[in-house]
Amino acid sequence: MDVASIPRFIRNALDRPGSVGIGAFQRVAAQAGAREDRFRDLAELPRPTLDDLADFCAIAREAARRTIDMRPFDVQLVGALALLSGHVAEMATGEGKTLSGAIAAAGHALRGKRVHVISVNDYLARRDAEWMGPFYEALGVSVGWVGQSSTPEERREAYARDVTYASVSEAGFDVLRDRMATSAADLIVPEPSVAVIDEADSVLVDEARVPLVLAGAADPGADAPEAAELVRRLSKGYHYELDEQGRNVFLTTKGTDAVEKALGGINLYESPDELTRINLALHAHALLTRDVDYLVRDGRVQLISQSRGRVATLQRWPDGLQAAVEAKEALPASETGEILDSITVQGLIRRYPEICGMTGTAVAVEEQLREFYGLKVAVIPPNRPCVRVDEPDRVYGTVTDKERALVDEIAKVHEAGRPVLVGTLDVSESERLAEGLRAEGLSCVVLNAKNDAEEAAIIAEAGARGAITVSTQMAGRGTDIRLGEGVAELGGLYVIGAGRHPSSRLDDQLRGRAGRQGDPGGSVFLVSLEDDLIAQHAAGEALPPADQDGVVRHKRAGWIVGHAQRVAEGANLEIHRNTWRYTRLLELQRGQVLEQRDKVLHGESAADALARARPERWKELTESAGEKVLGEAARQIVLYHLDRCWTEYLGFMSDVREGIHLRALGHRLRPLDEFHREAVAAYRRLEDEVARRSVETFENAVITEDGLDPLGTGLARPTSTWTYMVQENPFGDAFDRVLRRLGSTGGGRRRSGEEE
C-alpha cells in the first residue's frame, strides 16, 4: 500500500512516539525533483534562501552534481531536511550521510547560523571538510576544519568560517582552553549556534558522560610505587573482591586490616588521601589489564580506547590512575596534573542552541535522545533496499570452541575468494585470531592500533577479493567498503562478529559494513557463553549445555545472549542517567562562573568591584600606575582567583562525591540530595572567596606603570596545560558500589586521556 493513501491519523498512530514523520520532507524532495531542470542549464547557480525549501534542495542538488560529482538521492535530501528541522536522521551505512550533513549544514549557514559539524575523529573532520568544500563554495558558504595539530591561529580562522568541521574532542578542548584566556583577543571559539553531529548516537549517548578535561602541571605522585607494591601482595577473594560485573574492586575487611597494618596502623577510612592512593593502585592492579586496557611501549603506558578499540595516541589517564598504572608496570612516573576545568560531552553539546545529527543506529536510543537532548529521530528509508543476509547467532560453550569455529568459518568463506571482515571486541582477541589464522596459512590485516587515516585506507580495501580483515569495533569508522571485482557474485562482503557487543547498536554498526546501497552481503555473530557480556550480565542465569562439538543448540542460547545484552544496555543507561544527575548542577554552575568570567574579560566589572571595595587604594594606584594599567591589573587579579577557586571547587566536589555515600549512609540521606546541598553551599562560598581573595591580592599587589607583576603578587598560572578525555571515572567506585548495594545500578569506570 502506498504510504500516502494511509489516513493521517493511522499513520500518526503507527509512528513511534520518539520518531517524526517524514512525509512532509518527502514532498519537498519530490518538488525539488520537479524543479531540477530549472537549474540544470544555468551557468551560475543563484545563492539559495531557505524560504523555499524545494528551491534550496534543487539548487543544492545541482551544486553537488556540478562540484563533487554526486547527485544527491531523494533520500539524502529527505535526510538533510530532517537535519534542518533539528532531528536526528537515521540513515544506514553507505547511504551518503556526509553529503546529507553538508546540505543541512549549508542550509543552516544560509539561515545565518554558525555551524559546527562534529565528526568522529580528526581524520574524518578534515576529509569531509575538504571533500565537501567545492559544494559549499558553490552555494557561497565558507568552510574550515580543525585538527589536533592546528595552531591557535588556524583554529581561530576555521571557527570564523560559516561551517567548521571538528572532532568532539577538539571542539571541546578549544572550549576548555578558551576558558583560561586572560585577554579577549586570545579567545578562539565563537558563541555556539548549530551542531550537526555525525554518528550522533555514539557522541550523544555512548560518549555523553565522558568528561573532557583541562589540566595544569603539578608534582608527580611520588607515593604510587609504594602503593603498587603493597597491593601486589594482596590476594583476590581474600583481601579484595570484584563486583559481579568486574567494574569495581573493593577491599574486604581482611584487606583493609592488612593495608592498615602495612601503613603503620592507620585508620584507612579516616585518611582520605591514603584511601584514594590504595584504591587507585588496586584499580590499576585488579581491573586494568595490560594489552586489553593499555599497552606498554617504549617505556610508556599507552591507553587502548575501549569504544574505539585502538591505541589512543597521546592519551593518558589523569594524575592518580596514570601514576598507579605506571607504578604497576614499574615505569617512571610521568608528569601529573591538577584538573583546572572539565565538561562532559553532553554538557559540551548542550551548549548549542540547535542540535541535529545523523547515524545508522538512532531508533534504539530514541528514548535517551529525547530525555537528554529533546531530540526526535527521523527514520530515512534506504536509497536501495538492503539485501544483506543476517544469520542467527552461533553460540558455543567455551571461548576456545568459539575461536576455533571462527578460524574454520573464515577459512571456509575465504576459500571461494569472498572477502571477510571480522569484528573483534578487543586488541588481544584480534591478535589471538590473527595468530590462529596464520597457523592455518591464512594471512590477514589486523586493525587496532593504527592511526585513523591509515585505518581508513586499509578498511577501504576490505571488500577486495580474498581479503581477510580483522578489526576492533571502531577501526576505520566512517569509511566506505566498496566491493572488488567479481565479489558481488560471491555474495559480497561477509561480516563475522567475534562476539556480541554490550549494545545492539554496536552489533548493527558492524553488520552495516556489509550490504551498503543494495550490495549483496552477509553477517553472523559467533558468541560463547564464557564471553564477558554473558559472564557479567547474565550471571544468575542457568546456561544451556553445549553439544559434543562445542555448539550450544538449546533454544535458550539465543535468549541468554539477547538478555545479557539488554541488561548491559539497561545498566549503561542507568550509569548515564546517574552521571548526568551528578554533573548537571556542576555544569549549570560552570555556566554561571563563565558568564561572570566573560564580564570580567570583556568589561570593567573587575575594576568596578575593586574600586568599590578599596576606594583609597584604588585612588592611590590610579595616580601612580594610571587608570588603564590598573583596570587591566584588576582584570588579571579577578580572573586568577575566579579560575583558581573554580579549580579548587571542582577538586572539592570530586572529594565530596567520593565520600558522599558514607555520610549519606550514616545520616540516612539520599546521596544525590546530600551532594546537591554540598554543591550549592560550596558554590556560595566560592563566590565569596573570589571576592575576598581578589581584594586581599589587590591590597598587596605589586602594580606599577608597567602593570601587574604576577609572580611578585603570587599569581602564577600553571606553566603547562594539557587536555584529555576521560573514558570512565574510577573515583566513583566506592560511591557507585554503595549505590548498587542500595538497589540502584551505578557504574565503575576507567579513565583515559589525551595529552597535548
Which residues sit at the interface with ligand ADP, rule CB under 6 A? 70-73, 76, 91, 93-99, 478, 480
- Which of 509, 536 has the CB closer to ligand ADP? 509
Kindly state the smallest distance separating residue 26's Cβ from ligand ADP, in Å.
Answer: 17
How many CB atoms are located within 10 Å of the residue 174 CB? 22
- Which of 480, 755 has the CB closer to ligand ADP? 480
Burial of 544 (0-12, 13-18, 19+ CB in 10 A): middle
Q: Which residue is nearest to ligand ADP (CB)?
A: 96
The total number of residues written for the chain in this structure:
756
Tell me whether residue 346 is annotated as binding: no
Q: Cite the beta strand spans of 6-106 per DSSP E.
A: 88-90
The SS3 call for residue 505 is: helix
The SS3 call for residue 190 is: coil
- Cell numbers at 138, concatenated: 558553490
What would the DSSP string read from start to end of 288-338? --BTTTEEEETTEEEEEETTTTEE-TT----HHHHHHHHHHTTPPPPPEEE
8 Å CB contact between 480 and 94: yes
633-663 core/surface letters (b: 16 or more CB in 10 A; e: else): bbbbbbbbbbbbbbbebbebbbebbbbbbee
How many CB atoms are located within 10 Å of the residue 263 CB? 17
Place of cell 559434543: 548
Kindly state the smallest distance separating residue 93's Cβ from ligand ADP, in Å.
Answer: 4
459-493 core/surface letters (b: 16 or more CB in 10 A; e: else): beebbbeebbbbbbbbbbbbbbbebbeebeebbbb
The number of angstroms, rounded, from the C-alpha of 448 to the middle of its chain's C-alpha atoms is 18
Kindly state the smallest distance separating residue 135's Cβ from ligand ADP, in Å.
Answer: 11
Distance (Å, rounded) from C-alpha 202 to C-alpha 205?
A: 6
- Which of 71, 233 has the CB closer to ligand ADP? 71
The SS3 call for residue 136 is: helix
What DSSP designation does 425 have? S
Distance (Å, rounded) from C-alpha 166 to C-alpha 148?
A: 9
Tell me whether residue 229 is annotated as binding: no
Kindly state the smallest distance separating residue 103's Cβ from ligand ADP, in Å.
Answer: 10
- Which of 99, 575 has the CB closer to ligand ADP? 99
Question: Which stretches of 161-304 are DSSP H helices?
Answer: 168-178, 200-201, 224-232, 253-262, 272-286
Kindly state the smallest distance separating residue 424's Cβ from ligand ADP, in Å.
Answer: 21
Kindly state the smallest distance separating residue 523's Cβ from ligand ADP, in Å.
Answer: 16
8 Å CB contact between 201 and 358: no
Kindly state the smallest distance separating residue 456's Cβ from ligand ADP, in Å.
Answer: 10
Distance (Å, rounded) from C-alpha 142 to C-alpha 131?
A: 13
- Which of 40, 412 has the CB closer to ligand ADP? 40
- Which of 31, 517 has the CB closer to ligand ADP? 517
Strands 163-167 and 143-145: parallel
Kindly state the smallest distance separating residue 338's Cβ from ligand ADP, in Å.
Answer: 40
- Which of 126, 350 has the CB closer to ligand ADP? 126
Kindly state the smallest distance separating residue 515's Cβ from ligand ADP, in Å.
Answer: 12
- Which of 201, 733 has the CB closer to ligand ADP? 201
Place of cell 566513583: 732
- Cell numbers at 631, concatenated: 583596570
- Cell numbers at 581, concatenated: 544527575
Kindly state the smallest distance separating residue 407's Cβ from ligand ADP, in Å.
Answer: 30
- Which of 513, 749 has the CB closer to ligand ADP? 513
- Which of 97, 156 has the CB closer to ligand ADP? 97
Tell me whether residue 293 is annotated as binding: no
Kindly state the smallest distance separating residue 753's Cβ from ligand ADP, in Å.
Answer: 28
Distance (Å, rounded) from C-alpha 89 to C-alpha 379?
A: 6
What would the DSSP string read from start to end of 529-545? TTSHHHHHHSTTSPPPP
Place of cell 534506504: 382
CA atoms within 13 A of residue 202's CA, in its CB half-sphere: 22
- Which of 203, 533 has the CB closer to ligand ADP? 203
Burial of 317 (0-12, 13-18, 19+ CB in 10 A): buried
Kindly state the smallest distance separating residue 234's Cβ from ligand ADP, in Å.
Answer: 48
Kindly state the smallest distance separating residue 512's Cβ from ligand ADP, in Å.
Answer: 8
Kindly state the smallest distance separating residue 38's Cβ from ligand ADP, in Å.
Answer: 19
Kindly state the smallest distance separating residue 98's Cβ from ligand ADP, in Å.
Answer: 3
The pair phi, psi for residue 196, each rounded to 5°, is: -105, 115
The pair phi, psi for residue 670, each rounded to 5°, is: -80, 125
8 Å CB contact between 715 and 231: no
- Which of 95, 162 has the CB closer to ligand ADP? 95
- Which of 73, 135 has the CB closer to ligand ADP? 73
Distances (CA, A) of 727 to 238, 295, 304, 569: 29, 16, 10, 17
Tell me whether residue 98 is annotated as binding: yes
The number of angstroms, rounded, from the C-alpha of 744 to the middle of its chain's C-alpha atoms is 24
Nearest to 19 by CA among 340, 367, 460, 419: 367
How many CB atoms are located within 10 Å of the residue 386 CB? 19
Tell me whether residue 76 is annotated as binding: yes
Annotated binding residues, written as ranges, equal: 76, 94-98, 480
Annotated binding-site members for ATP: 76, 94-98, 480
